[in-house]
Amino acid sequence: MVQQIFVGDAARLLQCNNLHTFSDVWNVQADWFEPPNASRGGWSGACRVLLKTAVGGSLAVFLKRQQNHCTRSLRAPLGMPTFRREFNNIETLRRVGVPAVPALYYGEETIDDNSCAAIITVALDTYSSLDAWWPSHDDPVQRQQVMDGIAHWTAQLSRRRLQHGCLYSKHIFIRNTGAAAITVNDLSLIDLESMRRRFTINRAARMNRDQLLRRTPVLNDAEHGYLDRALSRALAQLKNTQ
């Protein structure tokens, strides 16, 4: 059985590139962006592809494909493609207003008894990862604005009992606007394959905080201290508004 989901006007965009079916998407010829990951008894890899738009422009996207790369959960005890969970998580954040990499398409099909899945997301070309942004921006005010934004969205995740699961500095992106001030809306999260819901807000908050403080090596000790306090303030503000 073939399952395909197009987000917004993505169907029109993909049709402009002769990508009408899952088979069309699965058989796109493109170089791997990085070597495919072989694990879980299968493989998973990503390609960067430039799509043409209906108005004559172009849009860079990441086409990720996987085969027999599945995960199990209480809702899917027999297993499901990890990209399905990633797509569902992206859509969850979109619905609740937490900025994340936009998804355009998700599809899956069983081919020769192999579970195959594909997801297409927009390339964040106007953004930089926190790893890349931090060394080139030494303005303490801007750095504090970024840390405040990270704390804000981390608290929003925790409020909904969501643990990101991979809250590393390389998975937090900052929009390159050139403006002096950086707002919470200039941030975006990627790599949502591991996001899951915890039983309590406190559990999600503790897991998010611990991972964020351990996995942001570009920040020094003083900055980690500021981020920790910003997280506490953001969580306290949310509790006061409930």
Dump pLDDT digits (tens) for 4-62: 999 999 999 999 999 999 999 999 999 999 888 887 678 999 999 999 998 889 999 99
pLDDT at 39: 78
Domains belonging to the chain, first-starting first, are 3-122 (3.30.200), 127-241 (1.10.510.10)
Interval 89-118: pLDDT, tens: 999 999 999 999 999 999 999 999 999 999
Average pLDDT over residues 172-176: 97
Q: Which residue has the higher pLDDT, 76 or 88?
A: 88
State pTM to two decimals: 0.93
Percent share of the chain, pLDDT over 70: 95
Q: What is the pLDDT of residue 184?
A: 96
The dihedral region occupied by 68, where left means phi > 0, alpha psi between -120 and 50, and beta the remainder, is left
What per-residue confidence (pLDDT) applies to 41?
Answer: 77
CA torsion, points 149, 214, 192, 231, in degrees to nearest 10? -30
At 28, which helix (H) or strand (E)?
Answer: none
Summarize pLDDT for 222-238 with one digit per residue, the tens.
999 999 999 999 999 87
Whole-number percent of the chain with pLDDT over 90: 85
Give the model's confidence band at 70: pLDDT under 50 very low, under 70 low, under 90 confident, else very high: confident
CA atoms 242, 202, 167, 224: torsion sign = positive
Q: Which two tokens stand for residue 153?
A: 């969205």
SS3 for 91-139 is HHHHHHCCCECCEEEEEEEEECCEEEEEEEEECCCCEEEHHHHHHHCCC
Give 80's pLDDT tier (boundaries 50, 70, 90).
Answer: confident
